């Protein structure tokens, strides 16, 4: 089954310094029928104005992934980690037994747009951990490029959950097929452009799809498209 969530179905909040779009219940947005999808608990599409950000705040027992689409995002935490990430970079934080962190836009001129994803961990009580990785955006071209996985490598961030996040740039007229084991789920989010799934399901910019009981999906680009695909439990 493939269920489409148009971009208009997201909850949006404009704080002036921050424009947020929530795909799941988060903060002051609560929908008991939209709390999570498998282990995916949060998918926020955030735009933060220059020299603004989220002050120091706590997290625990959550795997938190930040994916920068445009601009710069700076992370600092109570473990002494500090890093700036741009497009082509991933920030992954295992909150574990508890950590404080902040995220803000260090640029004085440019807005930052990033996704923040939260996943329920596959084990609790781990030591807090922060990791920054980079990938080569050119390898996204007509390819599903893994950027986060429980099977980590030099350019793939590790996560304490049976999840793989792929990024892709798909040229007009091209298609990709993703196959997975029965019983798993897929979440697809269109960043730019528009695509068709399995020849008959159309998604435009910022639309998403949640797939269950599907062992494969064919993704076709109707225009040059950039999207994110999550293979998860």
CA–CA distance, 75 with 105 (Å, rounded to integer): 9
- Alpha carbon distance 97, 77 (integer Å): 14
d(Cα 168, Cα 186) in Å, to the nearest integer?
Answer: 15
Give yes or no for a contact between 220 and 189, defined as CB atoms under 8 angstroms apart.
no
Give me the residues paired with residue 4 across strands.
Answer: 209
CATH fold group of domain 164-232 = Jelly Rolls (2.60.120)
Q: What is the CATH number of domain 10-145?
A: 2.60.120.10
DSSP, res 39: T
Binding residue positions = 57, 59, 101, 103
What's the pLDDT at 89? 97
**Domain map (residue ranges) of the chain:** 10-145, 164-232
What is residue 152's predicted lDDT score, i.e. its pLDDT? 83
pLDDT along the chain (233 residues), means of 10: 98 97 95 97 98 96 98 97 97 97 98 98 96 98 98 93 98 98 98 98 98 98 98 98
Which backbone phi and psi does 96 adopt, to 5 degrees? 50, -130
Instruction: Extract the annotated binding site for Fe cation.
Output: 57, 59, 101, 103
pTM of this prediction? 0.97
160-100-28 Cα angle (round to 5):
85
Return d(Cα 164, Cα 156) in angstroms, integer: 9
pLDDT the model gives residue 205: 98
């Amino acid at each position: 089954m493939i269920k489409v969530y148009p971009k208009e179905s997201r909850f949006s909040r404009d704080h002036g310094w921050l424009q947020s779009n929530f795909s799941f219940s988060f903060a002051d947005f609560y929908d008991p029928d939209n709390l999570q999808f498998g282990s995916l608990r949060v998918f926020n599409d955030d735009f933060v104005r220059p020299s603004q950000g989220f002050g120091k705040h706590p997290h625990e027992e959550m795997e938190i992934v930040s994916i920068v689409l445009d601009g710069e995002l700076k992370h600092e935490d109570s473990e002494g980690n500090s890093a700036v990430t741009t497009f082509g970079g991933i920030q992954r934080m295992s909150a574990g037994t508890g950590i404080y962190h902040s995220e803000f836009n260090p640029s004085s001129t440019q807005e930052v747009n990033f996704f923040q994803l939260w996943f329920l961990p596959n084990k609790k009580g781990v030591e807090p951990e922060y990791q920054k990785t980079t990938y080569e955006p050119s390898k996204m071209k007509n390819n599903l490029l893994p950027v986060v996985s429980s099977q980590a490598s030099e350019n793939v961030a590790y996560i304490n959950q049976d999840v793989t996040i792929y990024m892709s740039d798909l040229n007009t007229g091209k298609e990709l097929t993703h196959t997975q084991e029965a019983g798993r789920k897929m979440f697809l989010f269109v960043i730019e452009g528009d695509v068709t799934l399995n020849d008959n399901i159309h998604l435009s910019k910022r639309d998403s799809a949640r797939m269950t009981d599907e062992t494969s999906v064919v993704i076709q680009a109707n225009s040059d498209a950039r999207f994110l695909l999550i293979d998860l439990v």
